[in-house]
Chain A
Amino acid sequence: MSESETAAADIEAEETRARETLLEVSNLDAGYGDLQILTDLEMTVGRGEYVTIVGPNGAGKSTAMKSVFGLTSHMGGTVTFDGTDITQMVPEEIIHHGLGYVPQNDNVFSSLTVRENLEMGAYILDEVPEDALQAVFDRFPILERRQEQKAGTMSGGQQQMLAMGRALMLEPKLLLLDEPSAGLAPDLVADMFDRIDDINDAGTAILMVEQNAKEALRRCDRGYVLVNGKNGYVGSGRDLLDDEEVRQRFLGG
Chain B
Amino acid sequence: MGIADNYSRGRRLLVERPGQALAAVVGVLLVLALFADLAAKLGSGALGVGDVVLLAWRGVVNGLVIGLAGVGLSMTYSILNFANFAHGDYITGGAFVGWAVAWLVAGLGEYDIGSLLSLGLGADVYAPQLGTSIFGAPLALLLGLVAAGVGAIAIALLIDKLVYEPMRGQDGIALLIASIGVAFILRYLIVFVWGTSVTSVADEAGGLRPTVGGVTFSFGYHELTLVVCAVVLMVGVHVLLQRTKLGKAMRAMSDNQDLARVTGIPTERVIKWTWIIGAGLAGVAGYLLILEAGTIAYSRGWILLLLIFAAVILGGIGSVYGAIFGGLVIGLADSMSIIWIPSDFTKAAAFALMILILLFRPSGLFAGRTTA
**Which residues of chain A come closer than 8 Å to B258, judged between CB atoms?**
103
Q: Restricting to A76-99, which residues have a CB under 8 Å from any CB of B?
A: 90-92, 95-96
**Which residues of chain A come closer than 8 Å to B370, judged between CB atoms?**
111
Q: Are B264 and A112 in contact (CB under 8 A)?
A: no
Q: Are A106 and B256 in contact (CB under 8 A)?
A: yes
Q: Are B371 and A121 in contact (CB under 8 A)?
A: no
Q: Are A92 and B261 in contact (CB under 8 A)?
A: yes
Q: Are A69 and B252 in contact (CB under 8 A)?
A: no
Q: Which of A90, A95, A111, A124 contacts B255 (CB 8 A)?
A: A111
Chain A, residues 117-151, CB within 8 Å of chain B (1/0): the string is 00111011000000000000000000000000000
Q: State whether the Cβ of A116 lies closer than 8 Å to any Cβ in chain B.
A: yes
23 contacts across the A-B interface (CB closer than 8 A): A90-B261, A91-B261, A92-B265, A92-B266, A92-B267, A95-B264, A101-B262, A103-B262, A109-B252, A109-B256, A109-B260, A111-B254, A112-B252, A112-B255, A116-B248, A116-B251, A119-B245, A120-B249, A120-B252, A120-B263, A123-B263, A123-B264, A123-B265
**Which residues of chain A come closer than 8 Å to B261, judged between CB atoms?**
90-92
Q: State whether the Cβ of B369 lies closer than 8 Å to any Cβ in chain A.
A: yes
B248 nearest CB neighbor, chain A only: A116
Q: Restricting to B240-276, which residues have a CB under 8 Å from any CB of A?
A: 245, 248-249, 251-252, 254-256, 258-267
Q: Are A111 and B245 in contact (CB under 8 A)?
A: no
Q: Are B259 and A111 in contact (CB under 8 A)?
A: no
Bound complex: CA A108 to CA B258 (Å): 11
Bound complex: CA A215 to CA B256 (Å): 31
A110-B255, A111-B255 given; A120·B369 CB < 8 A: no
Q: State whether the Cβ of B372 lies closer than 8 Å to any Cβ in chain A.
A: yes
Bound complex: CA A68 to CA B372 (Å): 33
**Which residues of chain B come closer than 8 Å to A71, judged between CB atoms?**
262
**Which residues of chain A come closer than 8 Å to B259, judged between CB atoms?**
103, 106-109
**Which residues of chain A come closer than 8 Å to B256, judged between CB atoms?**
106, 109-110
A residues touching B (Cβ–Cβ < 8 Å)? 69, 71, 90-92, 95-96, 101, 103, 106-112, 116, 119-121, 123-124, 166, 170
Q: Measured between C-beta atoms, what is the minimum distance from B210 to chain A in Å?
A: 43
**Which residues of chain B come closer than 8 Å to A116, judged between CB atoms?**
248, 251-252
Chain B: residues with Cβ within 8 Å of the partner, total of 22
Bound complex: CA A123 to CA B264 (Å): 7
Chain B, residues 327-365, CB within 8 Å of chain A (1/0): the string is 000000000000000000000000000000000000000
B266 nearest CB neighbor, chain A only: A92
**Which residues of chain B come closer than 8 Å to A69, judged between CB atoms?**
262
Pairs of residues from A and B, 10 with the lowest C-beta to C-beta distance, nearest first: A95-B264, A109-B255, A109-B252, A124-B264, A91-B262, A101-B262, A123-B265, A111-B372, A120-B252, A116-B248
A167 nearest CB neighbor, chain B only: B263
Q: Are B248 and A119 in contact (CB under 8 A)?
A: yes
**Which residues of chain B come closer than 8 Å to A120, judged between CB atoms?**
248-249, 252, 260, 263, 265
Bound complex: CA A109 to CA B264 (Å): 13
Bound complex: CA A65 to CA B265 (Å): 20
Q: Are A92 and B264 in contact (CB under 8 A)?
A: yes
Bound complex: CA A91 to CA B258 (Å): 10
Residue of B249, B252, B258, B371 with highest tally of chain A CB at under 10 A: B252
A119-B245, A123-B245 given; A112·B263 CB < 8 A: no
Bound complex: CA A96 to CA B248 (Å): 20
Q: Measured between C-beta atoms, what is the minimum distance from A170 to chain B in Å?
A: 7
**Which residues of chain A come closer than 8 Å to B265, judged between CB atoms?**
92, 120, 123
Q: Are A112 and B251 in contact (CB under 8 A)?
A: yes
Q: Measured between C-beta atoms, what is the minimum distance from B171 to chain A in Å?
A: 15
Bound complex: CA A69 to CA B251 (Å): 23
Q: Measured between C-beta atoms, what is the minimum distance from B261 to chain A in Å?
A: 5
Q: Are B264 and A91 in contact (CB under 8 A)?
A: yes
**Which residues of chain A come closer than 8 Å to B266, judged between CB atoms?**
92, 123
Bound complex: CA A149 to CA B171 (Å): 33
Bound complex: CA A123 to CA B265 (Å): 6
Residue of B263, B266, B369, B370 with highest tally of chain A CB at under 10 A: B263
Bound complex: CA A71 to CA B262 (Å): 9
Bound complex: CA A116 to CA B177 (Å): 35
**Which residues of chain B come closer than 8 Å to A166, judged between CB atoms?**
263
Bound complex: CA A101 to CA B255 (Å): 18
A113 nearest CB neighbor, chain B only: B248
Q: Are B248 and A170 in contact (CB under 8 A)?
A: no
**Which residues of chain A come closer than 8 Å to B254, judged between CB atoms?**
111
Bound complex: CA A119 to CA B369 (Å): 20
A103-B258, A111-B369, A111-B370 given; A121·B263 CB < 8 A: yes
A66 nearest CB neighbor, chain B only: B262
Bound complex: CA A111 to CA B254 (Å): 9
Bound complex: CA A123 to CA B261 (Å): 11
A151 nearest CB neighbor, chain B only: B255
Chain B, residues 65-106, CB within 8 Å of chain A (1/0): the string is 000000000000000000000000000000000000000000
